[in-house]
Structure 1
Amino acid sequence: MKVKVELLEFIQCVLAKVLQQHDKKITPCLINKTGFYSAVYQCNPSYMHQQLNELIQQALSIAQHQLVVVVNNKNKYLELSLFADDRNQVTAKCTTPEKVIYSQVIKLPEQSISIQATSPQVNTILNSFISHSMVHFTSLMEQASHCISLIDANDIVKNETVSSDVTTIQICEISYALNPTILDASTLFWPFYDTDIINMINTKTTPEPLCILVADDSIPSLIATQAMLEKLGCKVVTANDGTRALALAQQQHFDLLLLDERMPGLYGSDVAKQLIEQDGVNRLTPKVSLTGLTEPDEIKQLFNKGITHYLEKPVTKLALENFLVQWQK
C-alpha cells in the first residue's frame, strides 16, 4: 500500500539502521542539495526501504571509512548519489520513478561558515561537507561570518570557555536520543544533513517563542501538532473547528495561523479569507494550510482565498522545525 513518506527523513533512518548493523566502522555524511527542507513522496515504504538498503549496501561493499550521501532535485524527481570514501566518482545512484513534492525552501547564507570539530570521528566528515555542500563551509575561521564547533556529546566540554562568536553543536549517536541529560536544542544525531546545521543556527537566534493558533477538527492530529510545536518552544492556542478558529483569530494576534482545510463550520481557507476581508488583528498574519491536497489547481484555490503557505499532512516534527525557521528571527 502506498503512503506519503517524508523522504529525506526516511533516507536518514534507513542509513542509520544499515550502518548500525554493518561490520565496518563507517562515518556518514549527508548532503542536501534539493534546495528544500521537505520532500514528500508517495510510495510503498517496505519496497522503498528494500531499494535504499540495497543501494547503501552496494556502496558499503567499496567504502572503508566514509560514506557520502548526496540528495538532489532533478526536475522534481529526487536523485540519490553515494560516494565511497574520498572518491569523486559516484559509487551507487538512483532516481525516484515519480515526482516528489518539495516544500520549505532553504535560504542559504551568503557568506562562509567556518566549521570545526573537536574529535577524530567528526573531523572525518569535514572535508566532505566543505567539498560537496551547497552551503559555503570553510575550515578558515578568519574568512567566515559565523563559526561552528561540532563536538561529540560524550566529550566533557561543559567547563570549557567557548567564545561567544562560536556556535557549539553536539553530535550524538541515535541510541542516546532518549537520554535527557544529552538531548537538547544544541544536539544533532548521526546521520545529519549539512542543511540541519543551517537550521540549527537560525533556531538558536530566536529571541522569544512564537505564538501560534492551530485549528484542526481531528483531535489526535490537533494534539500531535500542539505537542510538536510546544516541544519546539512555541506557545500554542487550539481550536477544533473553523468557527472557533475565526473567533480566536478575531480576538488575539498570532505569529502564525495553522489551519486544517476541511473543518466543520468553516474551511481553513474560508477562515483566512474572512480575516483578510475584516481587516482585523491577523489580516497580515501568515496563514498556513494543513492539508492532504496536492494537486496544483487545489493548492491554487487555497492561495486565492487567502492562504499564504501550506504544509502537507501528516506533519512531522522536523517539517515543523524547518518551516518555523523563516519566522524565528
Structure 2
Amino acid sequence: RAEMESAQTSNVESLPDLDLQDNPHILIVDDNATNRVVAQALCEMFGCTSETAEDGVEAVEAVQERRFDMILMDIKMPRMDGVQATQAIRALPGEVRNIPIVALTANADPEDARRYLSIGMAAVVEKPIKPERLRMAMNAALEQAAMTEAAGMADEKRSVA
C-alpha cells in the first residue's frame, strides 16, 4: 500500500501547473473540512491560490466581495447546495455571473451530470477527486471561459465600430 501511495504522490507531483493562466485564484466550496483541505492542496500543486467557503451561502457572498477565476463547488451542502449556489451566482449582475464553476460530487450519475451542466456548471468531477481529472476539468473550464471572454470582447468591438 505504501508503494501505491508513493507512486500516486509522484504522479501528482509531476502534473504541470494549470496551462492557461498565471496563478488562478480558486474558490473551493465544500461543507466537509477534509475535502476543502484536499482541494486546497491540489490547487496549490497546480499553481493556484485558493480560498474556501463552507456552503453555497458563503460562496455567493464571497464572489460578490472578491475576484475568483474559478469555483470548485460541492453539490450536497447544508443551507444552500451547489445547484442553488450556481443558479444564484449565474443570476448576479456583471462579470461575476460568468465565473467557471466545476461541480465536485460523490454522485456522478450521468443524468445528474447533465443537469449540473445545464444550469451553467462547466464540468463535473467525481469524488474522491483524482488529481489528473480535476486538473483536466479545471483547464477545460478556464479555456472555455477565456474563449467566451474573447468572443464577448470581439462582439463589443464590432458594436462600437
Give the TM-score normalised by structure 2.
0.72
* 8 A Cα contact 2:102 2:138, kept in partner: no
2:53 aligns with one of 239, 257, 279: 239
Q: Name the CA shift for 1:297/1:251 in 2 (closer, same or farther; >3 Å).
A: same
Question: CA distance change for structure 1 residues 267 and 304 in 2, over 3 Å: closer, same or farther?
Answer: same
Deviation at 1:291? 0.7
Cα shift at 1:224: 0.8
Q: Does the alignment pair 1:218 with 2:21?
A: no
Distance 1:229 1:314 in 2: 15
CA apart distance, 1:206: 4.8
In the alignment, does 2:88 pair up with 1:274? yes
Is residue 70 of structure 2 the alignment partner of residue 256 of structure 1? yes
Structure number, greater radius of gyration: 1
Question: In 2 relative to 1, CA 204–290 (structure 1 residues): closer, same or farther, beyond 3 Å?
Answer: closer
Q: In the TM superposition, what are the counterparts of 1:24-173 in structure 2 within 5 Å?
A: none
> Equivalent residue for 1:313?
127
What stretches of structure 1 move > 3 A for 4+ residues in a row?
Answer: 203-207
Alignment partner of 2:97: what SS?
coil
Aligned length: 138
Inter-CA distance 315–248: structure 2 relative to 1 (3 Å threshold): same
The corresponding residue for 1:323 is: 137
Segments of structure 1 that go 5 or more residues without pairing to the other structure are 1-12, 18-173, 178-182, 189-198
Any conservation in 2 of the 1:243–1:266 contact (CA below 8 Å)?
A: yes
Q: Which residue of the other structure, out of 293, 298, 302, is the alignment partner of 2:107?
A: 293
In the TM superposition, what is the alpha-carbon distance from 1:271 to its structure 2 partner? Answer: 0.9
1:304 maps to 2:126: no
Structure 1's 298 and 206: CA in aligned 2 closer, same or farther, altered over 3 A? closer
C-alpha contact (below 8 Å) 1:210/1:235 kept by paired residues:
yes
Query: How far apart, in 1, do the equivalents of 2:73 and 2:101 lie?
Result: 7
Q: Is the 8 A contact 1:229 1:320 kept in 2?
A: no
Between 1 and 2, higher relative CO (CA 8 Å, sep ≥ 6) is seen in: 2
1:40-99 superposed Cα distances (whole Å, 9 cap, x missing partner): xxxxxxxxxxxxxxxxxxxxxxxxxxxxxxxxxxxxxxxxxxxxxxxxxxxxxxxxxxxx
Letter paired with 1:292: A
2: distance between equivalents of 1:274 and 1:281? 14
Confirm whether residue 284 of structure 1 aligns to residue 94 of structure 2.
no
Residues 243 and 232 of structure 1: CA distance in aligned 2, closer, same or farther (over 3 Å): same
C-alpha deviations, 1:116-161, integer Å up to 9, x for none?
Answer: xxxxxxxxxxxxxxxxxxxxxxxxxxxxxxxxxxxxxxxxxxxxxx
Q: Give the Cα–Cα distance (whole angstroms) in 2 for the partners of residues 306 and 260 of structure 1.
A: 14
Question: CA–CA distance in 2 between the matches of 1:250 and 1:241?
Answer: 15
Deviation at 1:205, TM superposition (A): 5.5
Which position in structure 1 is the counterpart of 2:151?
A: none
Per the TM alignment, residue 278 of structure 1 is displaced from its structure 2 partner at its CA by 2.0
Does structure 1 conserve the Cα–Cα contact (< 8 Å) formed by 2:106 and 2:126?
Answer: yes
Superposed CA RMSD in Å reads 2.9
Cα shift readout 1:225-244 (whole Å, capped 9, x = no counterpart): 11111122101010011111
Query: What letter matches 1:248 in structure 2?
Result: A
1:241-280 CA-to-partner distances (Å, cap 9, x unmatched) read: 1111110012222111111001111111111111111224
Whole-Å separation in 2 of the counterparts to 1:262 and 1:316: 19
Give the aligned residue type for 2:118: N
Structure 2, unmatched stretches of 5+, are 147-161
The two structures have a TM-score, normalised by structure 1, of 0.37
Equivalent residue letter for 1:318? E
* Contact 2:107-2:126 within 8 A present in 1 as well: yes
Residues 26 and 71 in structure 2, CA contact (< 8 A), matched pair in contact too: yes
In 1, the alpha carbon distance for the partners of 2:51 and 2:18 equals: 23
Alignment partners' CA distance in 1, 2:32 and 2:127: 12
